[in-house]
């Protein structure tokens, strides 16, 4: 399903983005990008007939702020060794990452509708062996923070000043490995590492507090030795400020707890656990895209 071009990014911004080492779009431009990403998420999952819209939609602003304001990266040179790294630990949000990478120019936007098809580079969950720009093969929750720690340690050993960003789900934080990682990142004093938790307060079986209570979440990270900030995860200004402030924190990793709404932007998906891992029907796609005009 080709995307209606109703929300076109000013051509100058796109050019700027593709040409430069890192981009710095305005908040207004980023808002337009965010809407485009949401449209891609809905259309690609709708076309595939399966996938995870809820947790993709909740993290749209987090990923937009990173790729269009914060990360130093070269879409034309995905293996550039000084690039900032973005690790998507909650690999089921792959449709969001694919849409973002395509909009940045890592691969053609035309490729997005191949999501989940046989021989597509866009696998159901992220696969670093096939998709340009994808750093980690994820999908088995709980592994991304450890992987990010290894990359951060290597950066320090090599005296490279890249920064490492890893996006976790809040439900994902039920996994013991996340806390093994949390303990070790603080122990290794990794101030080049930022974890972002997409704190949409839901997982598959319902609300976190009913499935497995994470509270006091903020205090847990603090107790593990992290610098903790909390932001509105749909506010691009708050997000970029938090990412920039994290650069000033020394000898300690930073976690940004981003308060979000699962399914954000599509009325019937918001806070609705049914849309964690269910594709919208053709009619639902139509309604959703109308809402995202």
Ligand X SMILES: Cc1ncc(C[n+]2csc(CCOP(=O)(O)OP(=O)(O)O)c2C)c(N)n1
Contacts with another protein by CB under 8 A lie at: 81, 127-129, 135-140, 142-155, 157-158, 176-177, 180-181, 183-184, 187-188
Nearer to another protein, 22 or 179 (CB): 179
- Using the contact rule CB under 6 A, the part of the chain among 68-76, 97-105, 133-141, 213-221 near ligand X is 133-141
Q: Which is nearer to another protein, 177 or 241 (CB)?
A: 177
Is residue 95 within the footprint of ligand X (CB under 6 A)? no
Nearest Cα neighbor of 55 from 200, 205, 209 is 200
Residue 224 half-sphere exposure toward CB, CA atoms < 13 A: 21
End-to-end CA distance of the chain: 16
65: nearest Cα among 249, 237, 248, 256: 237
Q: Please write down the HEC assignment for all residues of 5-20.
A: CCCCCCHHHHHHHHHC
Q: Looking at beta carbons only, is 42 or 166 nearer to another protein? A: 166
Q: Is 55 in the site for ligand X (CB under 6 A)?
A: yes
Give yes or no for residue 181 binding ligand X (CB under 6 A). no
Applying CB under 6 A, among 29, 103, 135, 170 the residue interacting with ligand X is 170
Q: How far is the CB of 128 from another protein (least distance, A)?
A: 5
Q: Kindly list the residues in this chain that would bind ligand X in the complex (CB under 6 A).
A: 54-55, 58, 90, 92, 139-142, 169-172, 198, 200, 202-204, 262, 276
């Amino acid at each position: 399903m080709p995307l209606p071009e109703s929300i076109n990014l000013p051509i100058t911004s796109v050019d700027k983005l593709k040409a430069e080492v890192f981009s710095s779009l305005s908040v207004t431009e980023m808002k337009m990008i965010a809407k485009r990403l949401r449209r891609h998420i809905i259309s690609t999952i709708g076309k595939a007939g399966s996938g995870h819209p809820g947790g993709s939609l909740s993290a749209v602003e987090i990923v937009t702020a990173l790729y269009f304001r914060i990360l130093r990266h070269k879409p034309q040179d995905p293996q550039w060794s000084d690039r900032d790294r973005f690790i998507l630990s909650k690999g089921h949000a792959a449709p969001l990452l694919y849409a973002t990478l395509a909009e940045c120019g890592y691969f053609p936007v035309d490729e997005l509708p191949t999501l989940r098809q046989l021989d597509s580079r866009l696998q159901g969950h992220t696969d670093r062996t096939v998709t340009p720009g994808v750093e980690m093969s994820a999908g088995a929750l709980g592994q991304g923070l450890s992987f990010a720690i290894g990359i951060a340690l290597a950066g320090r050993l090599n005296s490279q000043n890249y920064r490492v960003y890893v996006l976790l789900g809040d439900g994902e934080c039920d996994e013991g490995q996340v806390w093994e990682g949390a303990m070790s990142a603080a122990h290794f004093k990794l101030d080049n590492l930022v974890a972002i938790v997409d704190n949409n307060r839901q997982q598959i079986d319902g609300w976190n507090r009913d499935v497995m209570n994470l509270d006091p979440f903020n205090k847990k990270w603090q107790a593990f030795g992290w610098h903790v900030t909390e932001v509105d995860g749909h506010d691009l200004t708050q997000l970029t400020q938090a990412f920039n402030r994290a650069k000033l924190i020394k000898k300690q990793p930073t976690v940004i707890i981003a308060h979000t709404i699962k399914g954000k932007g599509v009325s019937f998906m918001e806070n609705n656990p049914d849309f964690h891992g269910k594709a919208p029907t053709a009619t639902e796609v139509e309604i959703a895209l109308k809402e995202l005009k």
